[in-house]
Every structure is written in structure tokens, then in C-alpha cells.
Structure 1
Amino acid sequence: MLTEQLNDYSFTYGDLKKIDAFAFMDNVKAHPENFKRGKVVLVTASTPLKASRGEGKTTTTIALIDALRRRGIDAAAVLRQPSMGITAAGSKGGASGGGKSTLAHPELADWGLTGEMGRIADAQNLLAAFCEKAVDDGVLATVSIPRVSETPSRSLRKVQVDGGKLNERFVLTPASEMMQIITLSRSLTEIEERIGNMIAGAAPETGKPVLVKDFVDVERIVRVVGNAVQPAYMESGEGSPVYIHCGPFGNVSLGIPGLIAVDMACALHDVVVVEAGYGADAGGQKWLDIACREYGAPWPAAAVVVTRATTWRDDPALQWRYPFAVNRLENLGIASFPMINLWEGEDDELPQLRATAQELGFRRPIVGNLWCDGGEGLVNQLDEFISSLESVNTGYSPESKAALSFADKIAFITENSYGVPANRVLEKEGFTDILAAARAEVKEAGIDFDNLAVLPVKSPATMTDDDTLPAEERTVTLKKVEIHSGAGLLHINLTTSLTTPMPKIV
């Protein structure tokens, strides 16, 4: 049931409730004494053996809030919107849970909600069109802003227009800079400022970078985005509140829901469960290192690290990845609970998994076939989890990485997120020149290079160059750089990972 505090800020759009979270948070800031300060629980996962195989994070998220509410705790979830072309139409199904741990109307989430993806795509594609016109007008010589599509197509990976005069490319809408901008922004003014700071392309003759705000009325683009900035309200099958906002991929983008939706949920509920895309090394890393440390998102009071039994046990050479994820979060002061999401035929693995977890010094695993049992299967396993939420947790608040140099940021990420120290971070041939060119471009645009948050672009199924090597031999290679100055991000390619992947046909 939609809380009464949101009545004045919500409206019906199609079959869903939409919430003006920006206006609501203005009220929260004006009268903080009237609202809660909910604690965030991060749901992340083991790195999957295959990128297309889900571990059950959304299923766990929904089961967890249902179980907490059964225990009398005011809990809610904040989820990302799935990508229709990849997630909903792919082999792993939608991003709305499953079985008894699902949304009341999963089809609404899986197939477009109220058109948010389309509005974000329209805004970025309109910007690209403005850039093409700017080429005709002599303002630009090249276009840096890619077009976007929610439907993947191999033919869109490299495109030439106007008789080959311009090279363009497409990325999927969830991987776009416009999606990142809306995910990170906490006001319409911030959205407008960030869009204006996107690098549109290079100027004729000088080759200097030209920002969008130099030739575009940015307010027009914000109007195109429309109600895509407003979270959608949904419920689990048991009636637990779920807010859905934004949908960036966890491997090539942020992998987290919109920060304004998380802020709103924390003002309304005691516990807010946030799911981050793919594994602890992908969306989990970006929640901690970008959302929290760079942009002030709430630090998790606890984490639930999901794995299928087969992911942990199938490949002995990769078994290190799950303990690494759990221990890394614990070392950051986050009470981290292993969650074994049982699938059919995995029950006989439980005794050995429990024994292994005890040997590794884990907290007692939370176990369940959440598809079959839903939140009911977790209710009696949450005593330690709930105690961890009730204990004093000041969070882990290191100095913002915005103060670190690029090299220090890379070292921080590779060592803490992948277990690879700085002396084993390699550079692909030519990377030094690519990085120098990026530095020069950013400087000419009037942007502080070291103030950009580093966003790793990587395969969702690997953490290092070769995860099967012994720990002391694993490396990470820096390969390519892409500037998203509007979002305030510097993309660093670590592995080959497409931004226009193809879905599995099912």
C-alpha cells in the first residue's frame, strides 16, 4: 500500500503509480524530523559462471523484504528496471523475481513500465540529432554522443551516416550516459547541469571538445526525459513496497537504481533493500565506490551475497570468488550474510556448503528455495541479520576518492574489488597514449580529470584477466578509456564487453 506521505507526490500513469521523488525529497530536507532514516541493505552476488545465468538477486530481494515485513519490520526494496531487449527477452527472464518471490505484476516491470527507457532513449537520440545538425552548421567536426536503442542489433555496433561523412555508434539505452545522469541526479537542476556538461564532439579546425551546453538549450532535453525521472511504485506478491527507477547495466555502467529513489525510500522505511547488478565486483563495487563514496548514497548497514549452489561448487578454480566477495564486504565493516539460493536438485549440496561456510568463518548462511517458498522460507533464519541492523553502525567513510589521482583510484579498485595489487595492473599497448589524449580532452573542456569517478567496464563473468590463475598470478589489464563528463565518470575498459550485446534466443 502506497504510504500516505506520498499521496501528494504520486499520480497514476497507465497501470502504475509514479512518484515525484524530487519534490518529495525537497519536503524531507525542509522537515527532516518528520521522516525516517532507513538503513540500506545491499543485495549483491557471486560473480556468475555465465553472464546470462542469474544468481537470484531480485528473487532474494523480494523474499527478504517480504520476510522482514512478516517479522514486523518496515522494509521496502528499490530495484532497477530491466532492459527489454536483453533481460526480459533473454534466457534469464525478466528482472522482477520469480515464483513466490516476485512482483505482483511482473509483466509491467519487464516490458517497459511507463516508457522510461523510451524517454531516456529519445532524449539521448535527440542530442545526437542536434550534434549532427551542429556538424552541418560548422559547430562540430565529429560527434561523440552515441545514439541508443533498447533493441540490440549487430548492425548498430558501427554506423556511417551522411554518405560516410560521420562515424556513429549505438549503445543499449541502459548503457547510455543519459541513463547514468538520471541515475545519479538528485534534482532536475542537476540533470540539466549534467546534460549540459556532456562532450558533444570536437570543434572544426581546433579539434577542441565542445560541450552540449555550448550550443543546445538543455531545458528542451530535460523536457523530453519527462516522467522517466519519477520512480514507479509496485508491490511484491505479498504487498511489500517496491520502487523501480532507472536500469543501468552492472558491467558496462553503474548497475544501481536511481539515487533519488533510494533517498526517498530511506525517508519512508526503516530498512531499504537495494539490488546492484551482476556481482559484488560489478554493481556492488559501483554502489560502494561510486554511489556511496563519490555521490553520497547511504552506506550499507548489511549485505546479502547471493549464490546458487552450483556457482560456488561447479568449478574448483573459481571457488575463490564467492569467499572473496563476502570477506571484502566484511572487511569494509558491512555485516555480510551468505545467501544460498537453492535451485531444483541442489538440496543435497547443503551440508557440504554449510560446512565450508563454517570453515571460512562466514556468518551462518541464509538458505532457501525462494522460488518455491518465498519470504516464508526466510522468516525463521533472520535473527542474526536483524540484530546486525539494530546494532550501531557508523559505516565506513574513507576520504572521498575524488581527492585521489587516477592511478590511486585504479589501484584502490583493483586491489579491493578484484584482489589484484597495483604492481600487477597492466596496460595494453597504446593505453598510455589513449589516457593522455583523454586527459588533454577533459582539460580543454574545463573539467578536472582526477575529479571523475572511475567506472570499470568489464565482463560480468570475470573479475581478472584470468580468474583460474593462482591469486599471486592474477592480473588486470587497462585497455581503453571513454569520458562521460556529464555523468562525471571515466570508463576504463578492463575486458572485452559489448555495449550492444545480443540476447539469447529462447
Structure 2
Amino acid sequence: MAHKSDIEIARAATKQPIQEVGARLGIPSEALLPFGHDKAKISQDFINAQKDREDGKLILVTAVNPTPAGEGKTTTTVGLGDGLNAIGRKAAICIREASLGPCFGMKGGAAGGGYAQVIPMEDINLHFTGDFHAITAAHNLLAAMIDNHIHWGNKLGIDARRVAWRRVLDMNDRALRQVVHSLGGVGNGYPRESGFDITVASEVMAILCLANDLEDLQARLGGIIVAYTRDRKPIYCRDLKADGAMTVLLKDAMQPNLVQTLENNPAFVHGGPFANIAHGCNSVAATRTALKLADYVVTEAGFGADLGAEKFFDIKCRKAGLSPDAVVIVATVRAMKMNGGVGKDDLGRENVEAVEKGCANLGRHIENVKSFGVPAVVAINHFVTDTEAEIQAVKDHVEWMGSEAIVCRHWAQGSAGITELAERVAEIADSGMAQFSPLYPDDMPLFQKIETIARRIYRADEVLADKKVRDQLRKWEAEGFGDLPICMAKTQYSFSTDPNLRGAPDGHSVPVREVRLSAGAGFIVVICGEIMTMPGLPREPAAEQIMLNDAGEIEGLF
């Protein structure tokens, strides 16, 4: 029997009107702002009215370091949400919106897969409710206002060589990484070198995802440092009076989006900062709203636990006062084999030895997650090629690490394939075992925070940073930014900064290339190794396969 593609499964699903999905969480239809029949935003007034309700339990889904074999983190998040509902618990899921860049690049869609998906899959992966377009517009409005201010006399004394605010575009476009603009004469402004980042790397995206409400959003936007004067004095967004107009552009984007899973369970899909260059979690607004409306909220953090989970704990939970009750670490036999040195073409062959070797990667993620005081369980996302001996090898290793691994077949079976995990996760979340605390205190010096993450999470021996970087960190401390958390920007493929170093390396060095202050979002980005804030398209982009068929349906979105 040929397997249906994700898009065929999604298209065949029976969708409920979004008002019915909202009703399951007690959201009245007047509190929903519908986009068509199957998507809606939740009104700010309704959200505000829930603030005194008790919070449900928060469950984080994270994973081992990603491999080309695919781990299925979103698929497991969706499956677990369906599984919890299937065993009679009132659960909702919270995931990120998809960026157009990877959609047309390599990764394909980001709405789950198989029989564990959120729908309407095509909309979620394309323009959805326009949030990313609004973020792009707000970001670029600020960029235009900076250049315009310099053009009309530059009252603030901005040093054109020290403009820190680049432009953004939600597309993978390497040609725009470094550009020279304002060419063509006096009327076009002062020529200078600049560049574009992808929208999901924008500080505006991070701010939208961390802001509590519109007032907080505007205050954070106002706090963005956009440039410096000749004597290195920071110029803020509010100095240019751009924060008000940016908030206006973002007022609807701030409201969480509600959609449904294939099994008609509620799903919040809102915000989407990249996890390797930003903090990689869906919005605080969506997570908080879900916690008020459901008894269990399943959310995910991007890439492996060394990036996504660490940032979820140290940035999102710290900033929003959230406290997770349980963590699920997604692993696959295939990923263990790749971490054990098997090439992508040999994954179909049984290789217990490679699985055992690769489990070192999983073991380290379990240790790291537990170090935050939150109990962890492993979900083995099942593939048809997995053999019993290989699955047992993973289970044995996890048990040896003092945790437990449960095989999940949600991709093929939907909620029926993940009830065992759902029962166990609900039990752990209800037990009150979690004693969550972040990795480092707010008042630790900035460089020491970087070293703490590098040593305790990446198992590095040292952080390499030249004098310029250390001086910059000390200067920010002197200016009052010393209590900010750290957002590490590094490769997702390894604990180290070398993407080819799989498994569980230790004794390596973490080279810091540059540090960037995201004063509005409230963290410091530390760029390690070769990390791109504007990806390129691959040799054969996914876009080549995306088209409308004769029935007017979209083909080629994964």
C-alpha cells in the first residue's frame, strides 16, 4: 500500500468550523476573528479576561541534534496533543508558524506529518494570517525611517557607519546578505553598506514572541538599539518615533492564531523565531493563553535540546515566568545511527552497534534537560525500517541514563499510536516532580553566562573570544544590560560549533565571532562559528516542485 503524502492526508481530513474548535476551549465565537472557515485569531479582550484563571500543565517537546534523517519534533508535539485528548485530557498544542524561506528551500513545511498534522497545512506553510508579512513590514519601516532621518539633516547625529539595523525578507536569498544601498545620487540618501536577514531572525519577531500585550510590545520596540552616534551613544527606535507606527502594523499579528489538528483538537500557531539564530519558541502570548484554557499545553522548541530547550528555559520561561512540568525528548533510531557514524544511504540496514554509539547524543540531552530540574521522557518516533533490536538498544541506553523511552507510532496511526506516551506524560506533569530553575542567575556577568552554557550544555573546555568581544560585553554591563540572558547562535547539527561533529563531543572550544545586543527583545545574541542570519537556497530548492495542479490544488508542499 502506497503511503499518502502529508498534503494528501491533510487534504482528506474532515475539518471542523473554527468556532467549534474554539468552543472546546470555551472561546465564544465573538472572541474569534476568523480568517476563512478554518483559521482565527483570538481577541485581546478575551485573552485579558482570562488572566486570573489557573494555569494548566506545560509540557515541552524537544529533540536530539537534527540529522538529515529527520526526527519529527513537530509531528510528535501534534501527536502528543491528540494523544492527551484521546485519553480524556483537555489539551492544546502551541507551535511556531512556518517561514517561507525553508518552505521553498530545503526543509519543506512545518506543520507536522503523517497522521499528526495541523491543518490547513497549505495556509500555515504559506501566508497564513499575515503575521510574518506584518513583522517584515514593521522591521523595514524602521529601516526606512533611519535612512530618512539621516537624509533630512540627521538631528540625532547618527553615524551612518554605525547603523546596526539591517533589513529583512522572509525568503532564503544569499544575494542580499551584503548590499550597498542609496546609490544613484543625492536624492537617494547616503550610500552605505548593509544587508538583509531572514524575517525570522528579526528582533521584531523575537519581541512579538516575548511581549505580554500591546503596551509591552511598544515598550520593547522602543527599546531596540538601531544605531550609534560618532561618540558611540546608542540611538533607540523610540528616538526616531517609529515605535508607535510599528505597533500599529503589529496589532493584529500580536493576537494568537487558532487552528486544528487532523483530529480536530485545538492548536495555537503563533510566532516563529529561528532556533539557531534566535530563541526558537512560539509566542508567550499563545502559550499563556493556551495555559489558561487547557489543562495540558504541549509546546515545542526548535532543533536539538542544546539550542531550543536551553533557550526555552533560559529566555522564554525566565522572561515570562513560566515553569515547565515535563519534557519529551524526541529521538529516532535513524538519528541514533547517523550520530553513530552511519551515512544517510545506509540507514535502512540494521546496525545495533551504531545505534548504541549514537545514543551518546541522546544521553547528553537527557542529562542537560534534567539539569534544569524538569523530568524527561524519551519518545522514540517510529519508522517502518526500525528493527526490534535497534529499538531495544535505545530503550536500554535511556533506562541506563535513569529515564524511560516509549515507542510512538503517531505518524502512521495518529493519537492511537501515542497513548502510552500521553498517559506517562500526564502522570509526570501531574506529579509535581518538576523543580524548574534556569541554568544561570540574572546577575552573573555576561561572559560567565556564555561560558556556563558552553561548559554545562555543550561540554566545551573553553570559550574563545577576542578582546573586542569581551570589551563589548563589559561596556553593555556598564550600560545596564548585564542582567540579560544569552541567546547562543550556533549550528544545530552538533553540540559543538562544528556541524560535522556528531555524537557527544567534549573538550572542544566555542569560538565567539561577534555579539549583538537585542535590547528590545531583552537578550544578547552570541554568534559562534559560521552561522548565517540569511540562508541561501540549495542547489535544487523545494520551490522547483511546488505548483498548482489541474484541480487548482497546491502540489509539492511536503
| TM-score calculated relative to the size of structure 2 | 0.83
RMSD (CA atoms):
2.2
Q: Deviations over 1:74-127 (max 9, x none)?
A: 0110010011121x2233321101111111321111112111110000000000
Q: Per-residue deviation at 1:6?
A: 4.8
Tell which deviates more after alignment, 107-116 or 208-217: 208-217
Residue 42 (structure 1) aligned with residue 53 (structure 2) = no
- List 4+ stretches of structure 1 deviating above 6 A: none
Query: Partner of 1:286 in structure 2?
Result: 311
Tell which deviates more after alignment, 163-172 or 235-244: 163-172
Residue 219 (structure 1) aligned with residue 236 (structure 2) = no
- After TM superposition, the structure 1 = structure 2 runs for residues 395-410 of structure 1, keeping only pairs within 5 Å, are 395-397=435-437, 401-410=441-450
Query: Helix, strand or coil: the match of 1:343?
Result: coil
Residue 305 (structure 1) aligned with residue 329 (structure 2) = yes
Query: Partner of 1:502 in structure 2?
Result: 536
- After TM superposition, the structure 1 = structure 2 runs for residues 5-24 of structure 1, keeping only pairs within 5 Å, are 5-20=27-42, 22-24=44-46
Query: Partner of 2:125 in structure 1?
Result: 110
Change in 2 beyond 3 A, CA 1:269/1:133: same
Q: Per-residue deviation at 1:146?
A: 1.1
Change in 2 beyond 3 A, CA 1:268/1:450: same
Change in 2 beyond 3 A, CA 1:343/1:91: farther
Residue 4 (structure 1) aligned with residue 1 (structure 2) = no
Distance 2:491 2:369 in 1: 21
Query: Partner of 1:233 in structure 2?
Result: 258
Distance 1:440 1:360 in 2: 42
Residue 315 (structure 1) aligned with residue 355 (structure 2) = no
Distance 2:493 2:506 in 1: 20
2:73 touches 2:330 (CA, 8 Å); kept in 1?
Answer: yes
- After TM superposition, the structure 1 = structure 2 runs for residues 345-424 of structure 1, keeping only pairs within 5 Å, are 345-348=385-388, 349-363=390-404, 365-393=405-433, 395-397=435-437, 401-420=441-460, 424=461
Distance 2:503 2:125 in 1: 38
Distance 2:166 2:240 in 1: 17
Q: Per-residue deviation at 1:217?
A: 4.2
**Of 155, 158, 173, which aligns to 1:153?**
173
Distance 1:361 1:441 in 2: 41
Counterpart of 1:197 in structure 2: which amino acid?
G
Distance 1:71 1:108 in 2: 29
Residue 194 (structure 1) aligned with residue 220 (structure 2) = yes
Query: Helix, strand or coil: the match of 2:50?
Result: helix
Query: Helix, strand or coil: the match of 1:37?
Result: coil
2:56 touches 2:297 (CA, 8 Å); kept in 1?
Answer: yes
Query: Helix, strand or coil: the match of 1:5?
Result: coil
Q: Per-residue deviation at 1:226?
A: 3.2
Q: Per-residue deviation at 1:216?
A: 1.5
2:60 touches 2:299 (CA, 8 Å); kept in 1?
Answer: yes
Change in 2 beyond 3 A, CA 1:200/1:384: closer
Q: Per-residue deviation at 1:470?
A: 7.6
Q: Per-residue deviation at 1:327?
A: 2.1
Counterpart of 1:277 in structure 2: which amino acid?
G
Which structure 2 residue ranges, 5 or more long, are not aligned? Answer: 1-20, 184-189, 342-357, 543-558
Counterpart of 2:328 in structure 1: which amino acid?
V
2:462 touches 2:508 (CA, 8 Å); kept in 1?
Answer: no
Residue 67 (structure 1) aligned with residue 83 (structure 2) = yes
2:38 touches 2:120 (CA, 8 Å); kept in 1?
Answer: no
Query: Partner of 2:73 in structure 1?
Result: 57
Counterpart of 1:252 in structure 2: which amino acid?
I
Q: Per-residue deviation at 1:382?
A: 3.8
Query: Partner of 1:135 in structure 2?
Result: 150
Query: Partner of 1:260 in structure 2?
Result: 285
Query: Partner of 2:18 in structure 1?
Result: none
Tell which deviates more after alignment, 464-473 or 376-385: 464-473
Q: Deviations over 1:464-494 (max 9, x none)?
A: 1454598552232222111111111111112
Query: Helix, strand or coil: the match of 1:112?
Result: coil
- After TM superposition, the structure 1 = structure 2 runs for residues 436-475 of structure 1, keeping only pairs within 5 Å, are 436-437=471-472, 439-440=474-475, 447-466=479-498, 467=501, 473-475=507-509
1:59 touches 1:101 (CA, 8 Å); kept in 2?
Answer: yes
1:16 touches 1:114 (CA, 8 Å); kept in 2?
Answer: no
Counterpart of 2:294 in structure 1: which amino acid?
H
Distance 1:472 1:233 in 2: 42
Q: Per-residue deviation at 1:21?
A: 5.5
1:159 touches 1:168 (CA, 8 Å); kept in 2?
Answer: yes
- Aligned identity (percent) is 27
Distance 1:398 1:117 in 2: 30
1:117 touches 1:150 (CA, 8 Å); kept in 2?
Answer: yes
Distance 1:127 1:314 in 2: 44
Counterpart of 2:40 in structure 1: which amino acid?
K
Change in 2 beyond 3 A, CA 1:469/1:368: closer
Q: Per-residue deviation at 1:361?
A: 3.0
Query: Partner of 1:85 in structure 2?
Result: 101
Q: Per-residue deviation at 1:230?
A: 1.1
Distance 1:21 1:450 in 2: 36
| TM-score calculated relative to the size of structure 1 | 0.91
Distance 2:391 2:127 in 1: 38
Query: Helix, strand or coil: the match of 1:450?
Result: coil
Distance 1:226 1:12 in 2: 16
Q: Per-residue deviation at 1:194?
A: 0.9
Counterpart of 1:97 in structure 2: which amino acid?
G
Query: Partner of 2:48 in structure 1?
Result: 26
Distance 1:97 1:503 in 2: 22
Query: Helix, strand or coil: the match of 2:79?
Result: helix
- Matched positions, count: 488
Q: Deviations over 1:275-311 (max 9, x none)?
A: 1111101111100111112x03422111110112111
Tell which deviates more after alignment, 365-374 or 193-202: 365-374
Q: Per-residue deviation at 1:460?
A: 1.0
Residue 338 (structure 1) aligned with residue 378 (structure 2) = yes
Distance 2:476 2:375 in 1: 42
